[in-house]
A and B are shown apart, each in its own frame.
Chain A
Amino acid sequence: MTPNYDTIQVGDELPSLTKPPITEVQLVRYSGASGDFNPIHTVHQAGVEAGNNGVIAHGMLIMGFAAQMITNWVRPEQVRKFGVRFTGISRPGDAITVRGKVVEKFEADGERRVRCEVEAVDQTGHRKLKGEFIAAL
């Protein structure tokens, strides 16, 4: 059931999403799926040479987790814009939680829309990305 513009309130929290811990195999799969073969995500030595002490997750993997939270809440065709700033690196073993809340209700282009903040944090509360999306309700 999709959210209703009339009943939703600024400040309402969206249903959060907690992902299983990231695995090295997941980074290999994500590299193949996305086509991003930067070795810092899959080859330990490249991660060391890049100064990361090992492999790190693709930022776009974490943005994909945030997208999953969004499309668990609204249908993809309702999303007008979705943007993030990457604020921290993620590593295998990190369990990411994506949270969001409604920050604005407004009308534009003849549609009733909400602006929502999103953030992704790991199991220690360290933030990986922060952003927002706009959805038509």
Chain B
Amino acid sequence: MLDHSYIGKKLPTIRYQVDASKIRELALALGDDNPIFHDKAAAQAAGYPDIVAPLTFPTLFRFWGGTAAGAETRGILQQMGANVLRILHGEEEYEYFGLLHPGDQITGELEILSIERKEGSAGPMDMVKTRATYRKQTGEVVVIARATMVVRW
């Protein structure tokens, strides 16, 4: 049974500074050779001030930014009583309001929205819905990440 008191609870703030080398590293790991993710001159030729982060870059906010802050989803689920080896990533959705470039300083607020028990063929599962709202240093929301984590027992 997960600790339902985490629903709506204030969690530590996620902090992450976007850096060109991490943008390139993610693009290299994905094997995405689009030059706007790698090369500043190519990005500028395409009309950007600097290289651009790929669409799934906000996952680094969650892991690199969240783990250091004690606000990484899986760590939170572990505190709530889940076995970390039994957690699956069910769904991920990003809503974008702007681009991410090197130098952006991100703060994020993670919320546990709901926990829904389902009976699966392999036993009960808890579907945990989360929302992380990420802002730039200017205060503007740049991306909202919604996820469903599946906790099996």
Binding site for B on A (CB under 8 A): 19-20, 26, 29-30, 32-38, 40, 46, 49-50, 59-61, 63-65, 67-68, 70-72, 75-77, 79-86, 131
Q: Indicate if the CB atoms of B95 and A60 lie closer than 8 Å.
A: no
- Bound-state CA distance A35–B61 (Å) is 9
Q: Indicate if the CB atoms of B94 and A82 lie closer than 8 Å.
A: yes
Q: Indicate if the CB atoms of A38 and B22 lie closer than 8 Å.
A: no
Q: Indicate if the CB atoms of A26 and B29 lie closer than 8 Å.
A: yes
Interface majority SS on B: helix, strand, loop or mixed?
mixed
Q: Indicate if the CB atoms of A65 and B63 lie closer than 8 Å.
A: no
* Stretch of B4-12, B48-56, B106-114 with 4 or more beta carbons under 8 angstroms from chain A: B48-56
Confirm or deny: B28 has a beta carbon within 8 angstroms of a beta carbon on chain A: yes
With A59-B92, A80-B96 already in contact, the answer to whether A35 and B56 are too (CB < 8 A) is no
Interface majority SS on A: helix, strand, loop or mixed?
helix
Binding site for A on B (CB under 8 A): 22, 25-26, 28-32, 34, 36, 46, 52-56, 59-60, 62-64, 67, 74, 84-86, 88-96, 98-99, 146
- Bound-state CA distance A34–B92 (Å) is 15
Question: Which residues of B sit under 8 angstroms from A68, Cβ to Cβ?
Answer: 30-32, 34, 54
Select which of B30, B74, B92, B96 is within 8 A of A38 by beta carbon: B74
- Bound-state CA distance A79–B98 (Å) is 9
Q: Indicate if the CB atoms of B92 and A67 lie closer than 8 Å.
A: no
Q: Indicate if the CB atoms of B29 and A76 lie closer than 8 Å.
A: no
Question: Which residues of B sit under 8 angstroms from A29, Cβ to Cβ?
Answer: 25, 28-29
Question: Which residues of A sit under 8 angstroms from B67, Cβ to Cβ?
Answer: 35
Q: Indicate if the CB atoms of B60 and A34 lie closer than 8 Å.
A: yes
With A33-B25, A65-B30, A84-B91 already in contact, the answer to whether A76 and B85 are too (CB < 8 A) is no
With A83-B146, A84-B92, A85-B91 already in contact, the answer to whether A33 and B26 are too (CB < 8 A) is yes
| Other A-B pairs, 12, CB within 8 Å; known A67-B30, A82-B55 | A29-B28, A33-B60, A34-B29, A34-B60, A38-B84, A50-B86, A67-B55, A68-B34, A70-B55, A76-B96, A82-B96, A84-B93
